[in-house]
Structure 1
Amino acid sequence: MEYTELADYPLPAGTVTEWTPAADDNDWADDDRRLSYVHLEHARRAHEVGDEWYSQWIGTAFTIDHPLCADAMAATLQRWFARHEAFRSTVTRRPDVDANHVEDEFGRRIIAADKVSITIARDDEPSTSSAVYERINELFNTRISPLAWPHCLVTTVEPEDTPGSFLLVFGADHTVMDAYTQVFAIKELTRLYESALLGHDDSLATFGSYLDFSHAERASGARLDADTVEVTRWKNFLQAHSDSTSVTQPDPMPAFPRALPAGESQVGPLSRVETTHSRFQGSLSTWLLDAEQTERFHRASKAAGANMAAGIYTALSITTHRLSGTGDLRFISPVHTRTELQWGEAAGWFVGLIPVHLRPGAARTFSEAIGPVAECAREYKDLGTVPFHPIADLIGHRTPPQFVVSYIDLRGAEGADQWDTHDARVLRSACASSDEVYFWINRIPTGTNLSARFPSHHPGANDVHRFLRTFNDVLLEIVEAGDTAFDVESAMSAPGGQPGGLTP
C-alpha cells in the first residue's frame, strides 16, 4: 500500500456523497484531560496561521465490496466515532491564560458517543474523475482543521461502472489520527459497515482513549528538567558534529545532506513527481523493490548479521557517501508511542521522535557497515517515548525537524493481505514547507515503496531526485550481488560486471 497525495489515487467517476458528523452545541462538555504536546503545538500553529490554514490533513482511500446503503453507512460512522474519543473531542481557546495562571491556552471539550449524528449530502448526478478529485480535495483542504470540529470527514464515491462496490475516502486532522490509525481504519470501517449492512457481529476489539494517553504524557513530560538524562542526550545530539557531518549537515537540527558540486554524479529523477504549485512541496511516490527483490534484500541484510531496517539505513549511508563524500548521516525518525495494549488500535496521534546518527566508521562495503549502522540505529531508540516538545523548550531549540526518515514494516498489520484487493492507499495532503525533506519507506506484502516530500524549487528538488536515484541503485546492487561498496567505482568493478564487487 502506497502513501501518496490524493492526486495520485486513481479516483473513479461516480456519484459523490459527503458524510458529516454533527452535534448540538449544548451537548458539549469541558474535559480536564490535557492535550498532548504535539496536539497543543499543532493547535497553536493553526491559531497563528488563522484563516490561511489550508491543506493539512491525512487520510485513507479504499473500496468496500458491497453496494452503498445510506442507513448502514450512517450507522457505521456513528459507531466509528463512538469507538474513539479522539473523534468526539475538540479544543477551545481559553481567554486570559496568564491572568488565570493556566499553562495551556487551549482546553478540551468532548461530546458523548450517543450525541453524534451523521448528515448526508448526496449529489444528484455523477461527476467525472477529475471533478471527484477537485471536490474531495477542496473539501478536506478547507474544512479540516485542529480548531474546528468535526476533525474527521468522510466521502464516498459510487462508481458508474461497478455498482456492487463503492470507494470510501476519509480525511482527518493529524491531532486525531496517525499513520497507524490510517491503516487500522481500513479493517475497522469495513467490518463496521458489513455489520450494519448484514447484521452480524463486527468482532472488533475495543481499545483505550487517546485523551487518556495525552493526559498521561503531559504528566510524564512534567518530570523533565535541564539535567534529566533524556534532555542531555538530545542536547548532545543537536550540538555534536563530526567533521564530515558539519560539512554535509551543518545545522544543529539535521537537514538534508549537502551533495558534491553538481556534475560529479548526475542522475535522472524518479517518476511521478508532483511540483505543480510553487507554494507546495514536491511529492513523489515510487516502488523501490518488488516482493521478490525485497526478500532478497532482506536475506542479504540477515546474512550480514542485521535486519532489513538496518539494511535500509546502511543503503542510505552508502548513498550519502557517494554524493557527499561521507557515510555519516543524521536525521530524525518518527516512532509510535503505542507502548501499552490499551493503545493498540486507538485512534490518535501516537507519535514520538528519535534522533539518528549513522556512523559506518571505516567500513567500505554494505556487509561491513550494517553492523555499526545497526548499533547507531539503536542508540537513541529509547527516547521515542519521551516527548520532544518539552525537551526542545528546555534546551532552547525550537527548529522543527528538517530531515525525517521513517521505515515501517507493515506486513504484520491485520488485513494487510487484502489491501491490494481493496485498492487501499493512505493519503497525505500537499505541504507548503519550503525546506523540509521527508522520506517514508514502507515494507508491505507486495514489496517496498517510498513516499517523499521535498522542496519543489531548484536546486532542492534536483538534489532529492539525485539522492533517491542513487539510493535505488544501491538497493538494486545489494539485491543482485548480496553486497556493494561505498565507492561507486568499486561497486561497478566486480568480476563479470556484477555490481558490489561480489558474484551472486
Structure 2
Amino acid sequence: MDELNVTPGLLTVWRAVPRGVEQGTPQGVEGAAGWVVDGRAASYVQEAHIAGALAGGRGAERDPAWLATAFELPREARAEGGDTGGGGNGVLEAALLAWIDRHESLRSRLVPEKTSRGGLRRDTLPVGGIALRRTAEGNFTCGKSLASRIEEVFDAETDPLDWPSFVFATVEHTDGHTLYLGFDHSNVDGYSILLIAHEIHELYAAISSGTRAALTEVGSYLDFADIEREYAALVHTEHAAVVRWREFLGSGGGGLPEFPARGRGERGDRGGERGGPGGPGREQIGGCERLLDADAAHAFQRACRPHGGNFLTGVLTCLALAAREEEQGEGEQGEGELREGELEWESGEFRALTPFHTRGDARWAHSVGWYVGLAPLRFAVRRGDSFADILTAASTALDGAGEMAAIPFPRVSELLGRRLEPRFVVSYMDMRRTPGARRWGEWKAAALRSRRVHPDEVYLWVNRSYDGVHLSFRHPATEPARHAVSRLVAGTGRLMRRIAAEGVPGTAVHVQNVLPRDLVPARQQEPAPC
C-alpha cells in the first residue's frame, strides 16, 4: 500500500454481514440466520492456509496474507443510504452485492471441525444472503496516512479464521471515487484480483442503466474444491507426479530450491530448510521493474518461438543465465554480454517452484477462488551452453509441469510425509487476456499484496500486459539479498533486451501438457502460471 499513490479523501469502510443481522451484531456471528451446512469440502490449499493460522491460536497476532485491488469508479458513484446503515440501495452498493452473489466462495465460511473429508466444515449463505454495513472513517488530507489506515483495515479484517475474511473501502475525492477491496488469500488468487475491476464496472453500468451486465456465467470455486479434493484423494505415493516430486527433492539434497544468487559475502553457508540470508522473522521488501516495452516483448517472443521456446521459457532462460552470472561474480559485465566466468556455477542447474493455474474447465475461467498449484522446475545451465541450449532445457523441464501442479501442493507434502515450504518461486502471467485489461490504465487499476515476514523467501512475478513486461519481487530485507535480487533482475532485463534485438540460435522442442479435463489449464499460446 505504501507504494501506491493514494489520493486523499473521505474514507468509508464496507463490511459484509449475513442479511437480517441487526445493526451492531458482531460480524461473522456463529448463530446468524441464513448459514446452511454445505457438504462440499475445502480445497487443500484453503485447509493448509487455515491450519497454519490455527497453529498460532485464535486471537494470536499473525502476519497478514491478503491480496487486494484498487481502481477508480465512475465519478457519479455514491454510497447512498447513509454513513452507517445497512439499508441503502445505491447503485454502488447494489453492484458490490451483485458481485458477491456472483461468486459463491465469498458467501461461504470454513469452520474448524473434523469431517470425513478434512478438518473443516463448510457453511454457505444463499444468493441474496449478504448485506453491507458501512462506516464513515472520516476525511483524510494526507495520502500516506490514508494508505496506512486502509492497510490497517485490511490487516485486521482479512483474518482467515473469521468471516468475512474480506473487506471493502471507498475513498471519495475531488477526482471521483476509488474502491479498495482486500481479501485473505483463502478467497482469491492473483488472477481473481485482476478480474474484479472489470466485473464491478460492468455491474455498476448495468444497474445504472437497468440492463443486464455483459458478463459470462461463472462456476463456483466450491464445486471446484470438491472435485479437486475427490481427485487428489485418489493420488497415492507411487503416482507418477509424486515420484517426480520425490526425485526433485532428492536431487536438491532433500529440500526445496532456494534463491540461487546469494550476493557477495553470502557464498558460504546456505543453511537448512529455514536458513538463508534473512535470519528468523526477517521483514520482506520488494519492488517492481520494467523489463521490456510492448514492442520488445513481441520481438522477444518471436525470437524464442523458432527454437521451440515461448515467452515463459525464454524468461526462465534469461533468469537462469543471469543467476549463473551473479553466482559466478560476473555481475559487473557489460550490457547483454554472456561471457563465462572463471568459476564453475555452484549447482550447474536452475531450480525453482513455479505456480500454474488450475482453471482447466471453461466454467472456472472467470471464477473467484484460489485456483493455483505448484510445480517443480529444474534444468541444466552448464558451462558453454548457448541460449538455445538452455531454452530447450527449460522447455523440457516445463513438459508435464501442469500435471504436477494439478495435485495440490499440501497433498504432495502429505504423501511425502514432509513439511514443505516454498522458498524460491518464479511466477509468470500474461494479463492481456484478462477481461478489461485494456482499460486498467483508464481505471487506475492496481493489484496489491500484504507485507510479509519471512527469513529466506524470494518471490519473482513476471507479468506481461499491453504496456510491456514487468518483474515484481520480494525478498528478505538484508543488504546481501537486496544486492543479489536487484542484480538478478537487472541482468535478466539486459538479456531479454538483447534477445529481443538480436534473436537466438537453438534447437526446436515440442512441449506437451496433459491433465485431467476438469483441472487442466486451457490451451493457450503461452503457459499461464499465476
**Structure 2 CA distance for partners of 1:117 and 1:479, relative to 1, 3 Å:** same
**Superposition deviation, residue 79 in structure 1:** 0.7
Note closer, same or farther for the CA distance 1:304–1:363 as it changes in structure 2 (3 Å cut).
farther
Please name the residue that 1:346 is paired with: 367
Aligned AA (1:38): V
TM-score (norm 1): 0.85
Alpha-carbon deviation of 1:74?
A: 1.0
* Correspondence for 1:308: 311
- Post-superposition offset of 1:72: 0.9
Is 2:106 the counterpart of 1:87? yes
What is the SS of the residue equivalent to 2:132?
strand
Matched, 1:64 2:73: yes
Matches within 5 A, 1:90-239: 90-94=109-113, 97=114, 102=116, 104-160=118-174, 162=175, 165-239=176-250
> Gaps spanning 5+ residues in structure 2: where?
22-31, 80-89, 268-277, 328-343, 507-530
Q: Contact 2:354/2:425 (CA < 8 Å) preserved in 1?
A: yes
Task: Provide the C-alpha distance between the structure 2 equivalents of 1:284 and 1:191, rounded to a whole number of angstroms.
Answer: 31
- Unaligned stretches of 5+ in structure 1? 1-5, 242-249, 265-274, 486-504
Whether contact under 8 Å (2:2, 2:144) holds in the other structure is: no
1:286 aligned counterpart, secondary structure: strand
1:8 equivalent among 3, 6, 9:
3
- What corresponds to 1:17 in structure 2? 12
Task: Return the offset for 1:142.
Answer: 0.9
Counterpart Cα distance in 2 of 1:260 and 1:54: 27
Of stretches 342-351 and 19-28 in structure 1, the one that deviates more from structure 2 is: 19-28
Letter in 2 for 1:144: T
Give matches, 1:431-446, under 5 Å.
431-446=452-467
1:53 partner letter = R
User: Which residue number in structure 1 is paired with residue 61 of structure 2?
Assistant: 52
Sort the Cα spacing of 1:260 and 1:145 in 2 relative to 1 into closer, same or farther, 3 A: closer
Deviation of 1:251 (Å): 5.6
Matched, 1:374 2:395: yes
Alpha-carbon contact 2:66-2:184 (below 8 Å) kept: yes
Helix, strand or coil at the partner of 1:27: coil
Distance 1:27 1:228, change over 3 A: same
Alpha-carbon distance between aligned partners in 2 of 1:263 and 1:208, rounded to the nearest angstrom: 48
Contact 1:363 1:369 in 2 (8 A): no
Q: CA deviation at 1:367?
A: 3.1
Identity of aligned residues (%): 29
Q: Secondary structure at the match of 1:170?
A: strand
* Per-residue Cα deviation, 1:218-250 (whole angstroms, up to 9, x for no partner): 111111222222211111111124xxxxxxxx5
What TM-score do the two structures reach when normalised by structure 2?
A: 0.81
CA shift, 1:419, in A, is 1.1
The Cα shift of 1:351 comes to: 0.7
Question: Which protein has the bigger helix share?
Answer: 1
Post-superposition shift, 1:260?
A: 7.0
C-alpha distance in structure 2 between counterparts of 1:125 and 1:185, whole Å: 26
| Counterpart-to-counterpart distance in 1, 2:301 and 2:127 | 45
CA RMSD of aligned residues (A): 2.2
1:452 correspondence with 2:473: yes
Structure 1 match to 2:336: none
Secondary structure of the corresponding residue to residue 440 of structure 1: strand
Distance 1:210 1:366 in 2: 40
Which of 479, 482, 486 is 1:465 aligned to? 486
Structure 1 residues 53, 197: CA separation in 2 closer, same or farther (over 3 Å shift)?
farther
Would the aligned equivalents of 2:41 and 2:121 in 1 still touch at CA under 8 Å?
Answer: yes
**Counterpart Cα distance in 1 of 2:411 and 2:309:** 34
SS in structure 1 at match of 2:121:
strand
Q: Which amino acid aligns with 2:164?
A: P
Residues 300 and 363 of structure 1, relative CA distance in 2, 3 Å threshold = farther
Provide the rounded CA distance (Å) in 1 between the counterparts of 2:254 and 2:91.
53
Contact kept? 1:320, 1:328, Cα under 8 Å: no
CA contact (8 A) 1:474 1:484 kept: no
Are the aligned partners of 2:63 and 2:453 in contact in 1 as well (CA < 8 Å)? Answer: no
Map 1:252-271 to 2 at 5 A. Answer: 252-259=255-262, 261-262=264-265
The 3 A distance-change label for structure 1 pair 69 and 60 is same
- Deviation sequence 1:244-279 (CA, Å, 0-9, x none): xxxxxx562111114474599xxxxxxxxxx9xx85
The number of aligned residues is 452
1:179 & 1:239 partners in 2: Cα distance? 30
User: Partners in 2 of 1:367 and 1:65 — Cα distance?
Assistant: 49
Instruction: Answer yes or no: is the 8 Å Cα contact 1:69–1:197 preserved in 2.
Output: no
